[in-house]
Amino acid sequence: MMENLLKNSIKTLIPYTPKEITNVIRLDANENNYGSRLLNQKLTKALMEVNINQYPDTDCTQLRGMLAKGLMVSEEELLIGCGSDQLIVMLLNAFIDKGDKIVTSSPTFSMYKISNQIAGGETIEVPLSQDFEFDYYAFIKAIKKENPKLVFITNPNNPTGGVIPREQIIKIIEHSNAIVVVDEAYHEFYKESVMDLTSYYPNLVVLRTLSKAYGLAGARIGYSVASKELTGLIKRVKPPYNVSSLDQAAARVCLDNKPLFDGIIEEIILQRERLTKELSKLEAVKVYKSFGNFLLVRYGKATELYNYLLEKGIVIRYFGGGGALENCLRISIGTAEENTILLGVLGDYFGIENKGASLKQAVNCVI
Ligand SMILES: Cc1ncc(COP(=O)(O)O)c(C=O)c1O
């Protein structure tokens, strides 16, 4: 009955519903499993100093100052969101009227399309190649034909791990009248960035997050960098007090301890290369080159393997049947020990004996 009252655009919406699973090795959400546990004492101290009876600083002044200094941009070019998810919503709320278009590629991070549907916009998806390479010519063609208000590029892309060369991003910005959003959620595992271009292109916005490399997914901190003019436009729809004071304090502790995370990031990259190498030895498994903190693989019996790992206490991401991601599984890069366990379990599944044990020895040298 009440369903009839829903907005039309929501009636067909399939919501993004993260799985709640405990007591397992979680390799399904591209989190940082080294986590911020290492900072627990410092976090506890910082949180105890928060005046929780007061509303938070709506502009995240201190945190924005720290980020601006580290990124060498001005504070007026920075906005902080409750996760970069919220910045995606803010961009859509600011620019998308009913029926307006966004262009993005497919498969990619699903929240652009979901949030756009909620906003009432239309999403034009440009398929990646069969090998999940970015199809630059098709993308440019779509932009010219569809005249979108927003373009979303994910670099590195989730869930494929692939990247788009800087020159192609520049051409996309130059060929479009739209706001071009480059989502660099996984930048730290790739290193290349177009953030420096925000001072040349007033219609470019770069999104980043502390959820991945900085192990702060639970605190929900994302940020955008764009020209002062564009930042001002996005800020018009920023909800007041959108980042809690607890989250702001946690983020400040995190940034104060950046060198610790720099080491963790390098370890995750090493682990990604280790998993890529080991999984590539399995003939039945196709491993896609990844520049993120995850690997996408294709395997004929993906459902069976997913369930086998789940039984053994390891949860990865299965995208379900059908479409471009048919039989694909995404494995987030865990800690060295977790990866050793994963490889051992995979070794058992694929009938390769003692793989886990020999890798465990190798790992002891890496940590
Ligand atoms: C490409 C991409 N952008 C944005 C996000 C959202 O991150 P946040 O935790 O900052 O909302 C994710 C999360 O998985 C992602 O993969």
The full DSSP string for 24-92 is: SEE-SS---TT-SGGGHHHHHHHHHT--TTSPP-TT-HHHHHHHHHHHT--GGGEEEEEHHHHHHHHHH
Instruction: Assess if residue 325 is contained within a domain.
Output: yes
- This prediction has a pTM of 0.92
Count of CB atoms situated within 10 Å of the CB of 165: 12
The atom number, within ligand 1, closest to the CA of 186 reads 1
pLDDT given for residue 21 in this prediction: 66
The tally of domains found in the chain comes to 2
Which domain, by its residues, includes 134?
51-256
**Pick from 250, 230, 249, 238: which is nearest to 86 by CA?**
238
Backbone angles phi, psi at 155, to 5 degrees: -140, 105
Which pLDDT score is estimated for 28?
A: 95
Which pLDDT score, from 0 to 100, does residue 23 have?
63
> In this structure, are 249 and 277 located in the same domain?
no
Q: What is the pLDDT of residue 219?
A: 94
User: pLDDT by residue (tens digit) across 148-178?
Assistant: 999 999 999 999 999 999 999 999 999 999 9
The response to whether residue 160 sits with its C-beta less than 6 Å from ligand 1 reads no
Residues 302 and 357 in one domain: yes
* CA–CA distances in Å: residue 254 to residues 231, 259, 333: 24, 10, 20
For 242-297, what is each residue's pLDDT tens digit?
999 999 999 999 999 999 999 999 999 999 999 999 999 999 999 999 999 999 99
Give the pLDDT of residue 8: 85
**What does the alpha-carbon distance between residue 160 and residue 152 come to, in Å, rounded to a whole number?**
15
Q: Is there a single domain that holds both residue 250 and residue 263? A: no
Q: Which of 33-37, 52-56, 294-298 has the lowest mean pLDDT?
A: 33-37
Residue 225, domain member (yes or no): yes
**Ligand 1 mutation target, pool 26, 89, 116, 209, most atoms within 8 A of CB:** 209
50-87 CB burial, b ≥16 within 10 A, e <16: beeeeebeebbeebbebbbeebebebebbbbbbbbbbb
213 and 275 fall within a common domain: no
Q: 208 and 70 in one domain?
A: yes
Q: Do 229 and 346 lie in a common domain?
A: no
Q: If you count DSSP H runs as helices and E runs as strands, how many of each does the chain have, helices first? A: 13, 13
Q: 184 C-alpha to center of ligand 1: Å?
A: 9
109 lines ligand 1 (CB under 6 A): yes
Q: What span, in angstroms and rounded, lies between the C-alpha atoms of 162 and 146? A: 25
Atom 12, ligand 1: residue with shortest CA distance:
185
Helices (H), 242-335: 245-256, 258-280, 302-311
Average pLDDT over residues 49-69: 97
Amino acid 231 reads T
Q: Which of 86, 182, 183 to mutate to test the pocket of ligand 1 (most atoms within 8 A of CB)?
A: 183
Q: What is the pLDDT of residue 22?
A: 64
> Does pLDDT of 121 surpass 70?
yes
| Ligand 1 atom nearest residue 221's Cα | 10
Q: CA–CA separation, 34 vs 214, rounded Å?
A: 9
Distance of CA 294 from the midpoint of ligand 1 (Å): 13
pLDDT single digits (tens) 180-235: 999 999 999 999 999 999 999 999 999 999 999 999 999 999 999 999 999 999 99
Query: 143 near 176, Cβ under 8 Å?
Result: yes
104 lines ligand 1 (CB under 6 A): no
Whether 46 is covered by a domain: the verdict is no
From the CB of 209, is ligand 1 less than 6 Å away? yes
Q: Does 77 lie in the same domain as 6?
A: no
Band (pLDDT 50/70/90 cuts) for residue 20 is low
Report the atom number in ligand 1 closest to the C-alpha of 81: 10
350 C-alpha vs ligand 1 centroid, how far in Å? 32
Longest CA pairwise span in the chain (Å): 62
* pLDDT in the model for residue 353: 53
